[in-house]
Amino acid sequence: MTKGNELSLLLRFTLPMVVGNVFQQFYNMADSIIVGRFIGANALGAVGEVGSLNFLLFSLCMGLGSGVGILTSQYIGAGRDDYVKKIVANSIYITLAAGLLMSLIGFFGAGAILRMMNTPAENFADAFVYTRIVCGGTLIVAGYNTISSILRAFGDARTPLVFLVTGCLVNIVLDLVFVLVFHMGVAGAAWATVIAQVVSMAGSVCYGKAKNPYLKLERRHYKVDKTIIAKSCRIGLSLAGQNALIAFSCVALQSVVNRFGTAVMAAYTATSRVEQLVQQPYSSLETAVSTFTGQNVGAGKYDRVYSGYKKSVWVILIFSLSMMGVILLFAGPIVGIFVKDPDVARIGATGLRIAAPMYFFLGLIYITRGMLNGVGDAAFAMINGVTEVAGRLGFAFALTMIPFVGMWGVWWTNCLTWTLTSLVNLLRVRKGTWKRSLLF
């Protein structure tokens, strides 16, 4: 990514990732559609509530995996091939430690966390079962996230795509079998997700080792290198902190949603699933921008970093306007995919129409975060996380207290938080502070 047209390189990297990330969302969407339509709105609300909790527990693993990927991309750009192999080997220790810790917290702390989230009594049992199974498998997610980050740092977006698609198909089949044939309820949906994640992780690791020379490691590469671990953790823990703060803000907002009852919970779950799908191009471009930035920083080509970022803004604008049109026209039928209850569908459709005009600001957050994370701007990561917490907590408290806003305040909270965070991020880019944040 250090040579050639910036936009062309970013798009060629992004497109396979978009497909992969869309299929990844099918893990949750398959659960939600099957649970919502065949078990009921209460079960859908329980599954949806666990989504923000999952993100909170996954945040440490996601951050550390991304930190490894950013460090890898920078040293690839610098041409330090043997050092890259040491990074790959030491990432195993980081992944095992973080994944095991989060799995234990998710399994043993599920009940206490759900109570703190004001989970309604009618949703608690399903939410508890789903949380213990899915969050207990965080180690698997950590492994997949790390190997994916490493492969993408090499510019290989296809291998993670292939095994995401495979895992998605496994997930959908097992969802249908466990829920409709064996009548396992939400536990069946949870086990289907975990088994599919195992397939994705194992496939990526085995295929990557067979085809990628950087993954053909020797014994000497496995020696614990404190410098590599420190560098990975410096950026990784900052990203983990950012993810944890964002996840905390989502959990806090979910607790506000829970106060409005089962119908609003189910509607918010449905709209969240749709928005997660809309965000996949943003997320994919974020990873592309981060990898592009890391490799060009390693090669000392800082002008390409800013040029690639500016071109990405135009991509985000065009996609956001397109999705806004689709949502405004078809919000009702889209929500109807998830639920049959007309009241829930009506609430969800209105929520989608509130959020759609603000998608550009959401996309701007992603690509700005990709650029600043790619250079290793650890301070920015925390600024981004704190801004999202302040936005979601402040706006949620203020808006839902206004009588004529009420429950709609939870959707307006996301919109205003996206706007606030994107403006703070743009200010960070324009100040040029990132140029003093390089890992080298």
What are the 10-residue block averages of pLDDT along the chain, 440 residues in total? 81 79 65 72 70 71 81 80 89 89 88 82 84 87 87 81 83 86 86 89 88 86 88 79 78 83 83 84 86 80 85 92 92 82 87 92 90 77 83 88 87 92 87 60
Distance CA 232, CA 48 (A): 32
- Predicted confidence at residue 357, as pLDDT, reads 92
Nearest to 417 by CA among 398, 438, 436, 430: 398
Residue 92 lies in a domain: yes
Domain count, the chain: 1
Q: Answer yes or no: pTM beyond 0.75.
A: no
Residue 50 lies in a domain: yes
Distances (CA, A) of 431 to 115, 242, 291: 43, 20, 22
Distance CA 15, CA 384 (A): 26
Handedness of CA 153, 13, 310, 79 (dihedral sign): positive
Residue 243 lies in a domain: yes
- Predicted confidence at residue 68, as pLDDT, reads 86
Distance CA 380, CA 384 (A): 6
What the block records as the tokens of 350 is: 């209105």
- Predicted confidence at residue 316, as pLDDT, reads 92
Distance CA 329, CA 312 (A): 26
- Predicted confidence at residue 245, as pLDDT, reads 81
Residue 142 lies in a domain: yes
Handedness of CA 343, 278, 27, 71 (dihedral sign): negative
Residue 13 lies in a domain: yes
- Predicted confidence at residue 254, as pLDDT, reads 81
- Predicted confidence at residue 25, as pLDDT, reads 66
- Predicted confidence at residue 317, as pLDDT, reads 93
Residue 402 lies in a domain: yes
Q: Collect all residues with Cβ–Cβ distance below 8 Å to 267 and sequence separation of at least 6.
A: 335, 339, 344, 345, 347, 348, 351
Residue 1 lies in a domain: no
Distance CA 204, CA 406 (A): 46
Note down the domain range covering 259: 6-436
For the chain, the 3-state helix, strand and coil shares in percent, each to the nearest 5, are 90, 0, 10
Residue 173 lies in a domain: yes
- Predicted confidence at residue 435, as pLDDT, reads 63
- Is the separation of the CB atoms in 64 and 225 below 8 Å? no
